[in-house]
Amino acid sequence: MTSTTASAGLDAASPVALVLPGAGYTAQAPVLAWSVALLAERGWHVQVVSWTIDAAAEGAPEAFVTAEARSALDAARASGATGPAHVVAKSLGTWCLPWALREGLPGAWLTPLTTEPAVRAALDAVGPEHLAVGGDVDAWWRPEGLGASGLELVSVPGADHGLRRPGDWRASLDLQRGVLERVDAWAGRSA
């Protein structure tokens, strides 16, 4: 359970992105890897978390993920990054949504676990400075009733929990490009 600086940002005041992976979807997987790249190209400080999921993490995922997010933010601050903090999280990483809401941190939430009450309640309370993207064939993506607070909510037709279209790599590339365009637009609004 560590975080590394993938990009130091243009200067100390550059926006800071805390990138939190899924349980089996690391920051080297396509949607997060390209998100890291686009944020770095925009001049953001990008702090990437990697973790090993153990029984304690499985038993208390919100506490585990929140502690990792805090630790990543502390590491970014210790490196001299003073800019406004943001979160880019995938699946398990979205367990930090309640913390991000309390701290006022905007987020790009990729395949958030909307079937988990704490994640759903936080997602339902966030405003337009947040983006949530899920695939309409993902069992954890239940966007019905969300978005009343102004959250940008995107359901990707035919996409699964990996934001892929099973059995069609070309279509998967196309839909992931669309997801990344949304993340890039969110980053442009958030900086």
96-111 pLDDT per residue, tens: 999 999 999 999 999 9
DSSP character for 112? -
Decide: helix, strand or coil at residue 75.
Answer: helix
**pLDDT tens, residue by residue, 18-35:** 999 999 999 999 999 999
CATH number, domain of 161, equals 3.40.50.1820
Conformational region of residue 145, where left means phi above 0, alpha means psi within -120 to 50, and beta covers everything else: left
**CA angle (100 as vertex; 93, 51 as ends), nearest 5:** 25
CA 32 to CA 90: how far, in whole Å?
A: 8
Count the domains in the chain: 1
What average pLDDT does the chain have?
Answer: 97
Residues contacting residue 53 through CB under 8 Å, at least 6 positions apart: 23, 92
DSSP character for 20? E
pLDDT greater than 70 at residue 165:
yes
Tell me if the pTM is above 0.85. Answer: yes
Q: Which domain holds residue 76?
A: 2-190
DSSP character for 47? E
Cβ atoms 27, 7 nearer than 8 A: no
- For 116, the token pair is 């988990």
pLDDT greater than 90 at residue 147:
no
Q: Kind and range of the H or E element at 97?
A: helix 97-103
% the chain with pLDDT above 70: 99
